[in-house]
């Protein structure tokens, strides 16, 4: 009977795992489609319709290359119709460069580089400050088990820049954007699985006085093997050259199978551990971990009051006066901070402000309508009315001192914060991809190379800093978490990011197949990524699952080999 009870429990939890993964994909698809919806005759955004048809044979590079100088390119871009070079984002960067900085191209290049850094910052900051906070709050409010939350909502929070950049690139259509989406995901997965994992292994092995860090074998082999399966599926799609909506959806469904496997192994391992414990030990273990198993939120109730020793007995000291330089920095940061703060619902306790909460309830529907249907006054008016109603409700239902505390009171705010952070991340990712394509045209560099390097580095630098910090300060557990992230993260970005992108792109052309934009760089990135995964899969078990310099140096050599091949092919094409 005990075995049957555990089996039924595992089956129920496995169903919850599949349902959570399916819910994740459906919510993301709905949010992206809602953010991407455009009216075709929109004058505010001179961009091709997302997920629409591309002009056959249209090439901005082929149109600009024969022109003799920057002045001629400016005249061409200023003409009423230049479809091959129509901007894919909200700013016409080519026209800005050739017309605004025609006499000082170095200044135009510096401006584009500076704006690229700003977009990277905004995308990463939106994901970390708003997107991740909403997802963590939703996982707590929905009482998702930690294993399910880790591989669904929290993985989405960590991989949001990569996933949304890929979706935007495939949705933008021609002009090299599709190449950017494919190469950025593969390049990011390669960077994290080689450079980040290699540095973590070297740092973990270089700590003096500590025992060698051993990685848990089962989870490592599971993550690496699933990533290898996803890469094999992707390479088969690239070799075919086209993909149907059903084939793309099956690629996306690989992640549901991964979530199911993670939870099943977690459940069965917990059941086996319970069997090994005696009744007395089991009771002691339950008593020791009761605080971890307790739900974080209770229906209709606020969290339990803090003990007397945790309550503040004296009022907090007033904040220190800001210096003139700090005020100047705040003034420079305000244009980057205020638009998001005023439109993204945020109930994080350390950032709570009723004024901002009411303002976000008022302005979020207006921004959503302005992005989705900018040229339909009725939609904008309806959004303004809905915003006014929501703002009045927020002003009545919230307190000035603290954010909503009940489960029912938090979920609407968390859902709104999730939706608006998706919209902002989508807007920023769209602009980032458009800027990279424009920089590639200006510099004469393939967009796929920029996606595999610049975009991949920008989206992955946060992983490098966070994982190395975990390896340095987190002990053996921190190193284990860092290594797990180096493979679980790329698996999520590959299966969900590319799977969702291909599904949306193929669905827009249904029943026809979608021609996958791929060049030699995609095959090179996939090949080196497979080499890095095989190296880790062979070296780690052979060395007792211990992190050491052999593993780390080997992974770094693989990435240096990839860069050498890419730069060599760039030089060959340039000559």
Which of these ranges, 2-11, 305-314, 436-445, has the smallest mean pLDDT?
A: 305-314
User: If pLDDT is split at 50, 70 and 90, which confidence band does 42 have?
Assistant: very low
The confidence band for 89, taking pLDDT boundaries of 50, 70 and 90, is confident
Of 122 and 282, the structure prediction assigns the larger pLDDT to 122
Higher local confidence (pLDDT), 524 or 329:
524
More confident residue, 455 or 119: 119
Instruction: With a cut of 60, say whether residue 574 has pLDDT above it.
Output: no
Could you tell me which residues are beta bridge partners of residue 214?
A: 546
Distance CA(46)–CA(56), nearest Å, equals 19
18: confidence class by pLDDT, cuts 50, 70, 90: very low
CATH of 147-271+432-574, one of 1.20.1420.30, 3.20.20.70, 1.10.1040.10, 3.90.1150.10: 1.20.1420.30
CA within 13 Å, CB half, 43: 3
| pLDDT at residue 155 is higher than 90 | no
Q: What is the C-alpha separation between 538 and 536, in angstroms, rounded? A: 5
Percentage of the chain with pLDDT > 90?
Answer: 13
Amino acid 274: pLDDT: 61
Determine what percent of the chain is predicted with pLDDT higher than 70.
73
Q: What is the pLDDT of residue 299?
A: 37
Sequence-distant (≥ 6) Cβ neighbours of residue 128 within 8 angstroms: 462
More confident residue, 546 or 453: 546
Angle CA 10–15–19, to nearest 5: 145
Instruction: Note if the bond before 280 is cis, omega within 30 degrees.
Output: no
pLDDT value at residue 286:
42
Average of pLDDT values for 88-112? 87
pLDDT tens per residue across span 330-360: 787 888 899 999 999 999 888 899 999 999 9
Q: How confident is the model at residue 300 (pLDDT cuts 50, 70, 90)?
A: very low
As a whole number of angstroms, the distance between CA 384 and CA 397 comes to 20
Q: Report d(CA 377, CA 374) in Å as an integer.
A: 8
Distance separating alpha carbons of residues 475 and 210, to the nearest angstrom: 9
Name the band, by pLDDT with cuts 50, 70 and 90, for residue 179: low
- Provide the residue count of the chain: 575
So what's the pLDDT on residue 341? Answer: 93
Q: pLDDT digits over 413-432, tens only?
A: 988 998 898 888 888 878 88
- Name the least confident of 33-47, 77-91, 155-169, 555-569: 33-47
pLDDT of residue 92: 87
Task: Identify any residues that bridge with 301 across adjacent strands, giving them in sequence order.
Answer: 298
Give residue-wise pLDDT tens across range 206-258: 765 556 778 888 888 888 898 899 899 888 888 888 888 888 888 888 888 88
End-to-end CA distance of the chain: 73
* Mean pLDDT, residues 430-456 taken together: 80
Instruction: Provide the 8-state DSSP code for 40.
Output: T
Is 390's pLDDT higher than 80? yes
42: tokens are 């929109």
Residue holding tokens 């890929």?
Answer: 166
Are 487 and 495 contacting, i.e. CB atoms less than 8 angstroms apart?
A: no
Cβ neighbourhood burial of 1 (10 Å; 0-12, 13-18, 19+): exposed
Q: How far is Cα 519 from Cα 522, in angstroms, rounded to an integer?
A: 6
């Amino acid at each position: 009977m005990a075995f049957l009870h555990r089996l039924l429990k595992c089956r129920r939890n496995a169903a919850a795992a599949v349902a959570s993964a399916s819910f994740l994909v459906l919510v993301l698809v709905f949010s992206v489609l809602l953010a991407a919806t455009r009216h075709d005759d929109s004058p505010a955004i001179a961009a091709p319709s997302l997920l629409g048809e591309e002009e056959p044979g249209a090439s901005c590079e082929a149109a600009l290359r024969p022109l003799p100088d920057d002045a001629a390119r400016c005249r061409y871009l200023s003409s009423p119709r230049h479809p091959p070079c129509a901007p894919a984002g909200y700013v016409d960067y080519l026209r800005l460069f050739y017309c605004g900085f025609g006499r000082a191209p170095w200044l135009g290049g510096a401006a584009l580089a500076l704006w690229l850094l700003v977009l990277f910052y905004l995308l990463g900051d939106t994901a970390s400050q708003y997107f991740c906070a909403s997802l963590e709050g939703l996982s707590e409010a929905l009482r998702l088990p930690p294993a399910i939350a880790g591989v669904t909502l929290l993985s989405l929070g960590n991989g949001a820049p990569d996933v949304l950049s890929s979706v935007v690139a495939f949705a933008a259509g021609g002009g090299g954007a599709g190449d950017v989406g494919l190469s950025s995901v593969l390049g990011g997965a390669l960077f994290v699985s080689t450079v980040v994992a290699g540095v973590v292994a070297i740092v973990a092995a270089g700590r003096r006085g500590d025992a060698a860090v051993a990685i848990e074998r089962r989870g490592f082999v599971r993550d690496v093997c699933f990533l290898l399966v996803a890469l094999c599926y992707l390479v088969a799609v690239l070799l075919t050259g086209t993909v149907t909506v059903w084939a793309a959806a099956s690629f996306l469904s690989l992640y549901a199978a991964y979530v199911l496997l993670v939870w099943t192994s977690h459940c069965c391992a917990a059941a086996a551990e319970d069997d090994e414990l005696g009744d007395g030990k089991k009771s002691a273990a339950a008593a020791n971990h009761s605080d971890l198993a307790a739900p974080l939120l209770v229906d209709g109730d606020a969290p339990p009051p803090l003990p007397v020793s945790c309550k503040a007995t004296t009022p907090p000291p007033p904040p220190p006066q800001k210096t003139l330089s700090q005020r100047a920095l705040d003034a420079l940061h305000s244009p980057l901070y205020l638009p998001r703060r005023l439109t993204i619902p945020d109930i994080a306790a350390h950032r709570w402000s009723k004024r901002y909460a009411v303002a976000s309830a008022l302005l979020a529907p207006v921004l959503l309508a302005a992005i989705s249907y900018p040229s339909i006054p009725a939609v904008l008016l309806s959004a303004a009315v809905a915003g006014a109603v929501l703002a009045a409700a927020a002003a009545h239902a919230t307190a000035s001192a603290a954010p909503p505390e009940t489960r029912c009171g938090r979920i609407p705010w968390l859902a709104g914060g999730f939706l608006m952070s998706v919209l902002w991340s989508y807007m920023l990712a769209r602009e980032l991809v458009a800027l990279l394509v424009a920089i590639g045209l200006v510099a004469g560099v393939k967009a796929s190379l920029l996606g595999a390097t610049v975009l991949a580095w920008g989206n992955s630098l946060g992983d490098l800093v966070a994982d190395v910090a975990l390896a340095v300060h987190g002990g053996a557990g921190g190193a284990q978490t860092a290594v797990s992230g180096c493979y679980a993260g790329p698996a999520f970005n590959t299966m969900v990011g590319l799977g969702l992108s291909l599904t949306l792109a193929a669905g827009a052309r249904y029943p026809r197949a979608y021609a996958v934009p791929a060049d030699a760089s995609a095959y090179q990135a996939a090949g080196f990524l497979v080499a890095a995964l095989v190296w880790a899969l062979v070296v780690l078990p052979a060395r007792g699952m211990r992190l050491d310099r052999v593993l780390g140096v080997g992974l770094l050599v693989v990435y240096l080999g990839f860069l050498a091949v890419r730069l060599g092919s760039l030089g060959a094409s340039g000559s």
